[in-house]
Amino acid sequence: MRSKFPARLILFGALVGLVTACGSTEPIDRSSFLQPTTTLLRGPYRVSVGPNVTQSADGRVVYHVTIINPDDSILRITYGDCWAFLNLYSNSGRTSAPVFDEATSQTRCPAASRNVTLGRRGDSLVLTKQIATSLLHGLPSGHYFASIRIVPNGAGAVFPIGELDFRTP
């Protein structure tokens, strides 16, 4: 009867080699993982943020952006699931590093794409995003100043979106 020892030893060695090669003690810069995806806006448009960032009863953080057709032209909008990312700051000037950056709390973004057409003056599309409580673990309760990062037509923009009294779920 043949011994399975050499095969097990080879498999164990390969596994140790793989873990050693992939393991690292260097910190990972997660901010380079995700950036907001471009929201294509073909036609005249106006962007309105807010009115505020809120926390729902189950602990999720929710924010809104409204895209408005300002005239009678057709406005075609294409956006994906990572159309915006929230940052929370400890100071009102939003000048320090964010206490929470939604882009660093995720490691992937679904590739779904949606198309919407707004055909009349005043038509609008409200985009709502909810941050799951699982992504907020470690964020201490407190008063925060919020902004969102979006990329309309490839041009990055940051909008203040109010204040949040966050309570740890």
Check which CATH number belongs to the domain holding 113 and give it.
Answer: 2.60.40
Q: How many domains does the chain have?
A: 1
Q: Is residue 25 part of a domain?
A: no
What number of other Cβ atoms are within 10 A of residue 28's Cβ?
A: 10
Q: Is residue 29 part of a domain?
A: no
Q: Where does the pLDDT of residue 107 fall: very low under 50, low under 70, confident under 90, or very high at 90 and above?
A: low
Which residue intervals of 4-83 are DSSP H helices?
A: 5-22
Indicate the pairing of strand 84-89 with strand 38-42.
unpaired
* Mean pLDDT across 77-95: 92
Of the given ranges (17-31, 84-98, 105-119, 143-157), which has the lowest mean pLDDT? 17-31
Q: Is residue 20 part of a domain?
A: no
Q: Is residue 12 part of a domain?
A: no
Q: Is residue 116 part of a domain?
A: yes
Domain that holds residue 94: 34-166
Distance CA 130, CA 56 (A): 9
Q: Is residue 51 part of a domain?
A: yes
Q: What is the pLDDT of residues 108-154, one digit of tens each?
A: 777 678 999 999 999 999 999 999 888 888 899 999 999 999 989 98
Distance CA 154, CA 162 (A): 24
Q: Is residue 86 part of a domain?
A: yes
Q: Where does the pLDDT of residue 104 fall: very low under 50, low under 70, confident under 90, or very high at 90 and above?
A: confident
Q: Is residue 47 part of a domain?
A: yes
- Do the Cβ atoms of 140 and 26 come closer than 8 Å? no
Nearest to 49 by CA among 34, 68, 35: 68
